[in-house]
Amino acid sequence: MKKNAVVGQSGGPTAVINASLYGTVYEALNREDEIGTVYGMINGIEGFLNDQVMDMAPLEESKELELIRTTPGSYLGSCRYKLPEDLNDPVYPQLFARFEAYNIGYFFYIGGNDSMDTVSKLSRYAEKISSDIRVIGIPKTIDNDLVETDHTPGFGSAAKYVASTVREIAIDASVYDNKKSVTIVEIMGRHAGWLTAASALARKFEHDNPVLIYLPETDFDQDAFIEKVRTSLETTPNLVVCISEGIHDNTGTFICEYSNDVGTDTFGHKMLTGSGKYLENLVKERLGVKVRSVELNVCQRCSSSMLSKTDQKEAIASGAYGVKAALNGASGKMVAFERLDGDDYQIDYVLKDVNVICNQEKCVPATWITADGSDVTEDFIRYARPLIQGEVTVPTEDGVPKFAYRK
């Protein structure tokens, strides 16, 4: 008897997480000799626990599946549910009883670090009870912080959005030449500054805006920052500065904590916001120049207007590769990208042990950050530029994007 497959999405969405869903579902539906029904988990593993699933086949028949490719957000809905560390917890037999009830033989989870933690726990529990279910992780995250992979689906499109938006901000800031001004752009990134580093791709020439870029990989010194802004204003009167939300000082204190009480999310991560506003007030107080802060916020991950064709193509391929890997017997693995040597950008799709990946963070290499911590090097530019290449035409209706909506 053929086994069925189930796929879910977890964590923060990206502009191409649904492209990965498309790749997974399309490949699984077209393996009808090997896979029976293809189910979607509504709101991830948490929804599956509550018996919230849908049959994905009607989406292909109605052409909705094609529309999913260019729809941002998580079509199936997401969750931030953390499975217990103890594999003896009663939730595990409950989950596997549901797998058995739905005759699930293949489990695919699209997500980032915490999602790979779920993949790790489910695959380890399956091994513990000698279950033959195959558990595969499909990577995604705009943060680009998963280890064991060159980059992650979602980063390329978010990087393209950041670079394009920062270039637009820089053009807007340059229209008045008679007064000095500072624009501080706050970009997502808790401990890894990949996305903030991508703002360097906005530059049209050497020393163009953003002149200063600060990542959480280095300690942030407020006095040194003010002095750097002061001297930079002498040559760039309409200065643009890009910072990660997670910049911190040498004590480990987030800069935003100097002005806000910071709460925590369900995974115990501090919810960071306000670094840009704090530095706006600091510059205003210390230098007395016109200053404003811009927080890009969720637009970095929900915009379909600047999709990277490279990113979308790789997201679709990673989902399809995960299905092929499961059918070949793989489990407890995550689909990863290996960049090939050579002048032309190419990658291979490979499998990596998810137990090595989960609960780890890949930061921007120190050698890709300038010695004073205020910029990135050409090595980062060479790494990131291929990932933002190519445009995607998003279907429109009445002048606005036409997206897929789950009824």
Q: Point out the residues that are catalytic.
A: 143
Whether residues 317 and 269 share a domain: the answer is no
Whether residues 185 and 243 share a domain: the answer is yes
Residue 167 marked as a ligand binder: no
Each residue's pLDDT tens digit, 142-199: 999 999 999 999 999 999 999 999 999 999 999 876 689 999 999 999 899 999 999 9
Domain membership of residue 372 (yes or no) is no
Domain membership of residue 12 (yes or no) is yes
Residue 142 marked as a ligand binder: yes
**Domain total in the chain:** 2
Domain membership of residue 394 (yes or no) is no
Domain membership of residue 46 (yes or no) is yes
Whether residues 283 and 350 share a domain: the answer is no
C-alpha span between 246 and 231 (Å, rounded):
24
What's the pLDDT score for residue 260?
52
Domain membership of residue 147 (yes or no) is yes
pTM as predicted: 0.94
CATH of the domain at 200: 3.40.50.460
Domain boundary among 254, 275, 299: 299
CATH of the domain at 103: 3.40.50.450
Whether residues 264 and 338 share a domain: the answer is no
Residue 190 marked as a ligand binder: yes
Whether residues 11 and 85 share a domain: the answer is yes
What's the pLDDT score for residue 320?
98
The range of the structural domain enclosing residue 279 comes to: 157-299
Domain membership of residue 367 (yes or no) is no
Strands of 290-295's sheet in order across: 212-214, 238-244, 181-187, 290-295
Each residue's pLDDT tens digit, 343-371: 999 999 999 999 999 989 999 999 999 99
Whether residues 322 and 186 share a domain: the answer is no
Whether residues 8 and 66 share a domain: the answer is yes
Angle (CA) 351 44 392, round 5°: 65
Whether residues 33 and 139 share a domain: the answer is yes
C-alpha span between 241 and 400 (Å, rounded):
32
Domain membership of residue 141 (yes or no) is yes
**Contact of 303 with 72, CB cutoff 8 Å:** yes
